[in-house]
């Protein structure tokens, strides 16, 4: 009989090793380390940025006030509110001819005043004719070229504030704000 060649059964290959390179534990450690460093850096950045808002200054100020014999509640009541917004007083819009000689130019201006106290609005309301007159005289003395620039607008705003404060017995207008400014 013919002998049959018998082949030994083929061995099944061993499970494939992870890609030749970095083991899985090392990948997890690297990712975790990067995450911890990133979060720590973000925390440090936020802490650094928030530190400039006067937390230590406020504590030092409170300690100084307590040393002077005042309670903390009195200190908050007595402290001036520098950044607190004041009451707003609305003025009707102005439409005026500008002082441009060869051409006729118009200015439409709406202005609002920020006041030191709400009581000042009563004083301004009683002086509306004088208020409008002083602003109209000022606006008609300006030409389009001078008020179109940002510096011209800032100067006009300051002049309006000064003229309105000169009408009052005690200066009460902090600032003038333009809410509508059209030159045509």
Q: Cα dihedral angle (67, 68, 70, 74), rounded to 10 degrees?
A: -110
Is residue 166 a contact partner of residue 98, using CB atoms and an 8 Å limit? no
For residue 134, is it within any domain? yes
29 domain residue, yes or no: yes
70 & 146 share domain: no
User: Does a structural domain hold residue 8?
Assistant: no
Q: How confident is the model at residue 152 (pLDDT cuts 50, 70, 90)?
A: very high
Q: Is the pTM of this model over 0.85?
A: no
Per-residue pLDDT of 89-136, as tens digits, reads 999 999 999 998 888 999 999 999 999 998 899 999 999 999 999 999
Same domain? 94 vs 178: yes
Whether residue 4 is contained in a domain is answered as no
Which pLDDT does position 38 carry in this prediction? 86
Same-domain pairing of 109 and 32: no
User: Residue 147 falls within a domain, yes or no?
Assistant: yes
CATH number for the domain including 171?
3.30.479.30
Range of the domain at 66: 24-78
Question: Which tokens belong to 13?
Answer: 């290959």
Band of the pLDDT at 150, cuts 50, 70, 90? very high
Identify the pLDDT of residue 71.
Answer: 47
Do 71 and 148 fall within a single domain? no
Q: Do residues 135 and 153 both lie within one domain?
A: yes
What three-state secondary structure class fits 153?
A: helix
Q: How many domains does the chain have?
A: 2
pLDDT tens-digit readout, 15-41: 555 455 778 888 899 999 898 888 888
Question: Do residues 66 and 149 both lie within one domain?
Answer: no
Is residue 19 assigned to a domain? no
Bridge partners (DSSP) listed for residue 115 = 87, 173
């Amino acid at each position: 009989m013919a002998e049959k060649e018998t082949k030994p059964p083929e061995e099944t290959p061993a499970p494939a090793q992870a890609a030749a390179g970095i083991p899985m534990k090392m990948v997890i450690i690297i990712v975790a380390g990067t995450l911890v460093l990133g979060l720590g850096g973000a925390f440090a950045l936020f802490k650094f940025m928030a530190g400039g808002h006067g937390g230590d200054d406020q504590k030092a100020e409170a300690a100084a006030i307590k040393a002077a014999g005042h309670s903390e509640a009195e200190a908050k009541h007595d402290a001036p509110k520098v950044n607190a917004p004041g009451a707003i007083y609305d003025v009707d819009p102005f439409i005026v001819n500008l002082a441009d000689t060869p051409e006729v130019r118009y200015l439409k201006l709406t202005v609002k005043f920020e006041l030191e106290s709400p009581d000042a609005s009563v004083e301004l309301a009683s002086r509306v004719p004088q208020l409008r007159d002083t602003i109209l005289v000022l606006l008609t003395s300006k030409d389009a070229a001078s008020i179109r620039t940002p510096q011209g607008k800032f100067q006009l705003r300051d002049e309006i504030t000064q003229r309105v404060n000169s009408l009052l017995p005690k200066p009460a207008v902090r600032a003038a704000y333009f809410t509508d400014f059209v030159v045509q």
